Structure formats: C-alpha cells, structure tokens
Amino acid sequence: MDILIIIGVGVVTALVSLCGGFLLLTESKVAKTLQRYGAGIAALVILAAVMFNLLPEALEDGSLDWWKVLLWTAGGFLGFSVIGFVAGRFHKHGGEHSFRNKRQAMMMYGVDVIHTLADGLVLGVAFAAGSATGIWAALAIAAHEIPQEVGDFAIMVRSKMSKKRIAWLQILCALLLVPAAVAAFVVGDSLVGNMPIILSVVAGFFLYIVVGEVKTVFRDGFKSRV
C-alpha cells in the first residue's frame, strides 16, 4: 500500500509540475505570471517544509544533537551547491536566450532529467521518514518545478521543436520522478536508523533550492525596474 501511495503522489507531483509548461504551449498569459511570481511562492513553501517538518523530524528521536543536524544540513547545502554550479554551466533558470538550437536544448533536457531523478530520490526518502514528510516534500518539489518548467518549455520552443515533441519529452522526464521515488523509498526504509542524517541533508538540498528561488525573485525584480 505504501508503494501505491508513493506512485500516486509521484504521478500527481510530476503532472502538476508540468502545468506551467503546458500553459506556455497554449500561449496563456498565466504562464508568464507563474514564471514571474512562482519563484517567491516556491521559496515560501519550501522554507515551510524545511522549518516545520524536515528539521523537526530530524531532531525528533534525539539521536542527533541540534548542532549535528545543522552541520549535516550545511553539508547538504554545500554539496548540492557544488552540483548545482556544475549543472548551471549548461542550464540556468531564465537562461532560455542562451539556447538557440535543438542540440543545446537537448543538453538542457539531459540536465533536467538528472534534476528530476534527484527530486524523485528526495521524495522517496521523505516518504520513508513518514507520510507527512513525504507530502511536504511533494508540495515543495511541485512549487519549485511549476515556474521552472515554464522556462524549460520556453527553451525547447525557442529551439524550434514541435509542441507535440516538447510535450512528450517533458512528460517522460517528469514521470521519471516515480521510479526514482520508489527506489529511494525501498532503500530509505532500510536505513531508518540513519534517517535524521538523511533528513538533514534533504533539508540542505531544499535550502539550496530556496536560495536559487530568492535569487530569481531579486533578478526578475531588478529586470522589471530597468
């Protein structure tokens, strides 16, 4: 039953994450609104998940002192910052003007696949810690992905791909979240003793995303004033 719940939540999270991109394909003005204000909303949702669920869960059983939780969180943040820096050399939020052909767009797509797999691993580990933690993680992932997918779809549209191909590629990428989540849940369920450390690292991952979303808010705000 737990696996079925994870599959269901994973599918819903994946499809909800794509809604901004599909709105872009239909040339809806809502897509631009999501891209403009979605980062700020995502930052708040993710920060709430970290402060009200992930860190309290990591501290709950008392196996880790608070300073060790913070240390593992900082380690997770720094680790994902390094990974994000490397990936960012190929794919930056809002950088659709850097991608002018299908080859470059597919390079971006490859990075997006890796990003989706990482989200799935986080979701599965979160569910291994408890259903409430899993739901919080799903909300945080969806909140982050909705505005980001607008930019990803825009990159692929700019590369002159057909809308049908873009839609199928992005659906396939998004649904990779599900097997990654199931695999992480199966493994994570056997590592319950290390769950406080794992949750702390996941909190660091989400804080890294929050910083990225805040940077996007300030960047877009600056552009709107220029």
Give the pLDDT of the chain (226 residues) as one tens digit per residue: 689 999 999 999 999 999 999 999 988 888 888 888 898 999 999 999 999 999 999 998 778 899 999 999 999 999 999 987 776 655 444 444 455 677 778 888 888 898 899 999 999 999 998 899 999 999 999 999 999 899 889 888 888 889 999 999 999 999 999 999 999 999 987 777 789 999 999 999 999 999 989 988 887 664 554 4
Report the pLDDT value the prediction gives residue 98, as an integer from 0 to 100. 53
Which ranges in 92-194 belong to alpha helices (H)?
A: 102-129, 131-158, 163-175, 177-189
Report the pLDDT value the prediction gives residue 2, as an integer from 0 to 100. 85
Report the pLDDT value the prediction gives residue 92, as an integer from 0 to 100. 47
Query: What DSSP string describes 9-74?
Result: HHHHHHHHHTHHHHHHHTT-HHHHHHHHHHHHHHHHHHHHHIIIIIHHHHHHTSSS-HHHHHHHHH
Q: Which residue type occupies 91?
A: H
Domain membership flag for residue 225: no
Report the pLDDT value the prediction gives residue 226, as an integer from 0 to 100. 42
CA–CA dist 130, 132 (Å, integer): 6
- Cβ atoms of 120 and 178 closer than 8 Å: yes
Domain membership flag for residue 224: no
Report the pLDDT value the prediction gives residue 87, as an integer from 0 to 100. 67
Instruction: Give the domain extent around 14.
Output: 2-217
Q: Which residue type occupies 124?
A: G
Report the pLDDT value the prediction gives residue 221, as an integer from 0 to 100. 63
Report the pLDDT value the prediction gives residue 88, as an integer from 0 to 100. 62
CA–CA dist 149, 172 (Å, integer): 13
CA distances in angstroms from 112 to 145, 168, 203, 212, listed in the order given: 11, 14, 21, 16
**Which residues lie below 8 Å from residue 104, measured CB to CB, with a gap of 6+?**
98, 159
pTM of the model: 0.87
Report the pLDDT value the prediction gives residue 179, as an integer from 0 to 100. 97
Domain count, the chain: 1
- Cβ atoms of 109 and 117 closer than 8 Å: no
CB atoms within 10 A of CB 51: 12
Domain membership flag for residue 223: no
Buried b / exposed e along 128-167 (16+ C-beta atoms within 10 A):
bbeeebbbbbbbbbbbbbbbbbbbbbbbbbbbebeeeebb
50 token code pair: 């970290």
Domain membership flag for residue 21: yes
Report the pLDDT value the prediction gives residue 89, as an integer from 0 to 100. 56
Domain membership flag for residue 36: yes
**Location of structure tokens 């608070």:** 66
149 token code pair: 């997918």
Provide the angle, in degrees to the nearest 10, between the axes of the packed helices 2-17 and 131-158.
30
Domain membership flag for residue 116: yes
CB atoms within 10 A of CB 190: 9
Report the pLDDT value the prediction gives residue 79, as an integer from 0 to 100. 93
